[in-house]
Chains A and B, each alone.
Chain A
């Protein structure tokens, strides 16, 4: 267990020592969103489903922060270790390949949850929003972080260059999340060409809806549906990452 915990500690220390580049930017950008949509434009935007728009949007922004940070940490850390060759330090140790993969994934979860906590704190200070179902919301956030850290691990193994991680972030993750109900619900875009089908077919939409319900309150079925989808995604991503580690994909010659 010492070996596993040491590697997990390394993964956490890596992003903490570089907090200006890892923790500060996503937290600040969400605070800016909250200031613009909440404080500056809030009174003009009115209410959505009985809550001020800023409160409606906040869970989506929180989810976005968790997703991106949980994804980026393993993706960059793993690729960096492959690039510089120090991945061999872990691979020639008595750690099992599964322990290595899980420590790297949990490092991503830690970063996602830390940024998520900071964003929630900022949202609470700026908008006074509270969490309706804290236990569900926490479990949900953790499951989302695990799923996207698993995806980050896969990308960190797959990419052959630094640009690979950025490309997945920009061309896959961003559109998926932006068109996945962070700023609007499916009902709000009914009949809007392109946007409605993209939103309705996007699995992330249901993950966002569930998370929003856990935070703002509402039908438990939404939470369960979104959570189910998240757990399925997590099982696939973490499972695939473990298999890739076991076969030594891009790790062993």
Chain B
């Protein structure tokens, strides 16, 4: 059997008395489209930040393609691309095109290839016209596409997206869904966190539902709805969250 793309083993993250992630274990196979669901404060962002080393686990470990995310962080970073929920862009002095070419450079891509890769992504994400603009001149939707393009600049095997469609209008959400499905079809492993259960139902092969840092359910959307005798993931989600609260 192939090594899983991401293997989370007994991950624990505490901030003082607050336990953000509590003994979380799960595996994401290569090529999967995996959704991490949960209400605000469930530990979704902490978990994905731990995968890329922005959060230091209190205990437990994460393996990416079999490599330890803390010890082997440089090799892990080569194969992971992450798009944050906050539209973080190095926009104080760089243009849209420069943001992508610099990001490619940090990943060791030489200048000429970096420019070609940046231009290809600018075309693909409908940002070519804005290539010389500053971030402040972009609309919310354009920023979101740029964040996604940035995550893909080094052609990562694993793409992690934190709430990729938060605040997006209907048309853009559909566009982004298409793009993500296309990436998955190309063989990329996708891990996304989302609030939108319809999104998870439509895109994800498997989902994990987190609540207060703990894994409360794991399976395909069909499995979860069938097991709980519900028609939609949303009802399963609400039932699980309410029963956890009780």
Contact = CB atoms under 8 A, between A and B. Distances in A.
Report if A and B associate in a common complex: yes
Chain B interface, >50% SS class:
loop
Contacts of B77: 92-94
Given A88-B54, A88-B88, A252-B55, A2 B93 contact: no
A85 B86 CA distance: 9
Nearest to A17: B93
Given A84-B92, A86-B90, A91 B75 contact: no
Contacts of A10: 90, 94, 102
Nearest to B160: A92
Nearest to B77: A94
Contact of B93 (A9, A13, A89): A13
Interface string B1-26: 00000000000000100000000000
A225 interface: no
Contacts of B150: 89
A224 B3 CA distance: 58
Interface string A1-27: 011011101100110011000000000
Contacts of B49: 253
A95 interface: yes
Contacts of B110: 2
B98 to A, nearest CB: 8
Nearest to A247: B56
Interface residues of B, number: 32
A11 to B, nearest CB: 11
Contacts, number: 80
A46 interface: no
A90 interface: yes
Contacts of B74: 94-96
A90 B106 contact: yes
Given A6-B102, A10-B102, A252-B53, A94 B108 contact: yes
B56 A253 contact: yes
B109 interface: yes
B107 interface: yes
A7 B108 CA distance: 10
Interface string A218-253: 000000000000000000000000000000100011
Given A88-B54, A253-B49, A93 B106 contact: yes
Interface in B61-97: 74-75, 77-78, 80, 82, 84, 86, 88-94
B103 interface: yes
A96 B78 CA distance: 12
B167 to A, nearest CB: 17
A91 B54 contact: yes
A13 B90 CA distance: 13
Contacts of B31: none
Nearest to B13: A253
Contact of A3 (B52, B91, B94, B107): B107
Interface of B: 15, 46, 49, 52-56, 74-75, 77-78, 80, 82, 84, 86, 88-94, 102-103, 105-110, 150
Interface of A: 2-3, 5-7, 9-10, 13-14, 17-18, 80-81, 84-86, 88-96, 248, 252-253
Given A17-B93, A88-B84, A96-B74, 6 more contacts: A10-B90, A86-B90, A90-B106, A93-B77, A252-B54, A253-B56
22 contacts: A2-B110, A3-B106, A6-B106, A7-B105, A10-B94, A13-B93, A14-B92, A14-B93, A85-B86, A86-B88, A86-B89, A88-B88, A89-B103, A89-B106, A90-B106, A92-B53, A93-B77, A93-B106, A94-B74, A94-B78, A252-B53, A252-B54
The 9 A-B residue pairs whose C-beta atoms are closest, nearest first, are: A6-B105, A93-B106, A86-B90, A85-B88, A94-B74, A17-B93, A2-B108, A92-B52, A94-B77
